[in-house]
Chain A
Amino acid sequence: MNLNELTIKEATEGLKNKKFTSVELTKACLDRIKKRNSEINAFITVADEGALREAKAADEMIASGKAGALTGVPFSVKDAICTEGVRSTGSAKILDNYLPPHEATVIRKIRAGGGVLVGKNNCDAFGHGASNENSMYGPVRNPRDLSKVAGGSSGGSAAAVADDMCIYSIAEDTGGSIRQPASFCGVVGLRPSYGRNSRYGIMPMASSLDTVGPITKTVEDAALVMNAIAGQDKMDATTVPEPVPDYLKALGGNLKGVRIGLPKEYFDAPGIESEVKARTLEVVEKLKKLGCLITEVSLPHTKYSIAAYYIIVPCEDSSNLGRLDGVRYGVRAKAACLDDLYAESRERGFPEEVKRRILIGTYALSAGYYDAYYKKAQQVRTLIRRDFDEVFKKVDALITPTSPFTAFGIGEKIDDPLLMYLADVMVGPAALAGMPALSVPAGEDKNNLPIGVQVIGSRLAEGKVLKIGQFIAI
């Protein structure tokens, strides 16, 4: 087995037992990136030199007995998350030259603990998309089938992990951006509860929904990463004060008596592929055999979630992206007056979908429309949240497909934004409600494309979600 194919757990064991060094492990990942990135396009920036420097430092940490859970393990980071001194474009040309002077809290925690940053992953610009085709650096191709999308928006992160270009990746999920690409690429992706992990240093998309979480090869690895990054941060006032449990300890045991709900609206969703539904129901059968109690439940406002989501998100997007104007950082267009400077920097620096979202958001928030759109959507969001609160009185977790379909073809949906928005139908509602949700690989369809199953838990029930997910993955 090649070193770059290891899981976090295997890598840290090998490092601890001196079977190989972090430099060797990092070189294996960098070699894989070199070999594969021209085809997959999972990385916008490869941090070769920095990574080898960090690997050397990690080897010294290990030698002096100071190793932590992620020391010496090469990881990648979605480009919409700021990494100090390492170019962070957010996949938009307006930040083509941006070397952040600060670092996202979650990344700081990992790098301070000896993590080795190998590079920055392509994504839909600022997280806007479900296919990674809205990147100004080209689409990411699915490692399983290069004619298919990797999913989005964190397509580069999922593809990099699936193709063993790194051991794990840190990505961002606003309404499915970790889970859906994880599902399309056949890897594990966890969206934590809103407020569990710090958002400081991530390029904000929809501030009331954005979360940061891991994409990994195993559920156990996701628990390991969560142990390292979760927790309150004084730099993000929306992080919650509840103590962070040991997520590794939450794994194992058995599932006897665990109550699983199957939301009927998800299994009857329009456009759901029969193989995806059948595979999900096989997983449910397996959980039943392990002692879970299965019941059908209803989340009656599910069908309104996409409409609510695609009002709330563009409103927050348009407001957040106001900061990118070519004035203080990023690429500034040459212009005679300030108004032209703003307009031309933004015109050249943003891809089509980013501009579309800014326009939708600006429209919905403009005088006279606020109540009809933003307020209405936030009221519907309350009803969606109540649906979840009600079902979590009766069950411990929900099982659904992560996506109604497996990876679609590059170019297939890109000309119809509404069709692309509808791809979020199974990942959006939990995000609106702030719930944690995990996508776990659960086999393939007849074309060898991965199918992902989603486990949704109540707020801050990451441990329970991971535990159930691990039984699904085994």
Chain B
Amino acid sequence: MIMSLSIDEIRKIASLARLKLNNEEEKRYAETISAVLDYMKILNEVDTIGVEPTFQVTGLEDVYREDIAENSGRQAKILAVMPEVENGELVVPEVFEE
């Protein structure tokens, strides 16, 4: 495990996470996150060879329900929370640059 994050690494992670940070934030996150990751070192004391990870605790597997289309009757409410709507459709900025 790497225990200390550089400003460059913070920038890389922020860009992966679609977060825009200013210089002060980059510095603060590098410091605080490095301290947190350093604390995580404690897990290296634990022998986990051959231990199955716990991804869920209920033991449920393959929970199915019938795939039936239903009209929720909520279309107007869903459109109402959209930031920009035109002719009943969501508007977003251009995805492809010319």
Q: Check B53 against A382 for contact (C-beta < 8 Å).
A: yes
CB–CB B17/A238 < 8 A: no
Pick out which of these stretches binds chain B: A130-138, A285-293, A343-351. Answer: A343-351
Of B9, B36, B78, B82, chain A has the most CB atoms within 10 Å of the CB of: B36
Do B18 and A325 touch (CB < 8 A)?
A: yes
Q: Are A338 and B92 in contact (CB under 8 A)?
A: yes
- Rounded to whole angstroms, the CA-CA distance of A303 and B17 in the bound complex is 30
Which residues of B sit under 8 angstroms from A237, Cβ to Cβ?
A: 60, 63, 65
Complex Cα distance, B49 from A379, in Å, reads 9
| Proximity bits, A205-230, B CB within 8 Å = 1, else 0 | 00010000000000000000000000
Question: Are B19's CB and A346's CB within 8 A?
Answer: yes
The CA-CA distance from A379 to B32 in the complex, in Å, is 25
Are A358 and B97 touching (Cβ within 8 A)?
A: no
Interface hub of B20, B54, B78 (most chain A Cβ within 10 A): B54
Residue contact A363 to B5, C-beta cutoff 8 Å: yes
Cα A350 to Cα B21 with chains together (Å): 11
Contact, CB under 8 Å: B93 / A341: yes
B39 and A418 contacting across the interface, CB-CB below 8 Å: yes
Task: Say how far A64's CB is from chain B's closest CB, in angstroms.
Answer: 27
A307 pairs with B43, CB closer than 8 A: yes
Complex Cα distance, B13 from A172, in Å, reads 29
The minimal Cβ–Cβ distance linking B17 to chain A, given in whole angstroms, is 4
Binary contact readout B82-94 vs A (1 if CB under 8 angstroms, 0 otherwise) = 1110000010111
Question: Is A337 in contact with chain B by the CB < 8 A criterion?
Answer: yes
Among B20, B35, B81, contact of A346 (Cβ-Cβ < 8 Å): B20
Contact B36 A378 (CB under 8 A): no
A197 within 8 A of B: no
Q: Which of B19-51 contact A (CB under 8 A)?
A: 19-21, 25, 28-29, 32-33, 35-37, 39-40, 42-43, 45-46, 48, 51
Collect the chain A residues with CB atoms within 8 Å of residue B92's CB: 327, 338, 341
The minimal Cβ–Cβ distance linking B34 to chain A, given in whole angstroms, is: 10
A434 within 8 A of B: yes
- Overall SS of chain A's interface: helix
Chain B's closest residue to A386 (CB) is B51
Q: How far apart sit A378 and B93, CA to CA, in the bound complex (Å)?
A: 39
A292 to B37, CA, bound (A): 42
A381 to B53 Cα, complex, angstroms: 7
Asked whether, in the complex, the Cβ of B83 is within 8 Å of the Cβ of A347, the reply is: no
Q: Is the CB of A380 within 8 A of B60?
A: no
Asked if A393 CB lies within 8 Å of chain B CBs, one says no
* Cα–Cα distance between A21 and B5 once the two chains are bound (Å): 60
Q: Is A335 an interface residue (CB 8 A)?
A: yes
Q: Check A307 against B42 for contact (C-beta < 8 Å).
A: yes
- Min distance, Cβ B21 to any Cβ of chain A, angstroms: 7
For chain A, residues 85 to 107, give those with C-beta under 8 angstroms from any C-beta of chain B: 97-102
One digit per residue, 1 when the CB lies within 8 angstroms of any chain A CB and 0 when it does not, for chain B 8-19 equals 011001101111
Q: Which residue of the partner chain, among A194, A332, A373, contacts B83 with CB atoms under 8 Å?
A: A332
Complex Cα distance, B93 from A342, in Å, reads: 11
**Are the C-beta atoms of A379 and B53 separated by less than 8 Å?**
yes
Smallest beta-carbon distance A361→chain B, Å: 8
Known: A308-B43, A356-B32. A433 touches B21 (CB 8 A): no
Q: Are B36 and A417 in contact (CB under 8 A)?
A: yes
Q: Quick check: B48 and A385 within 8 Å, CB to CB?
A: no
Residues of chain B with a CB closer than 8 A to A434's CB: 57-58
| Residues of A close to B35: CB separation below 8 A | 417-418
- Given A343-B18, A373-B1: A304 and B54 within 8 A (CB)? no
Report B's interface with A, CB cutoff 8 A: 1, 5, 9-10, 13-14, 16-21, 25, 28-29, 32-33, 35-37, 39-40, 42-43, 45-46, 48, 51-58, 60, 63, 65, 72, 74, 77-78, 80-84, 90, 92-95, 97
**Assuming A328-B82, A328-B90, A382-B52, what are 14 further A-B pairs, CB within 8 angstroms?**
A99-B80, A194-B58, A195-B57, A208-B57, A307-B39, A307-B42, A340-B20, A343-B18, A362-B16, A363-B13, A378-B55, A379-B46, A417-B32, A418-B36
6 A-B pairs within 8 Å (CB atoms) are namely A195-B57, A238-B58, A335-B93, A379-B53, A380-B43, A421-B36
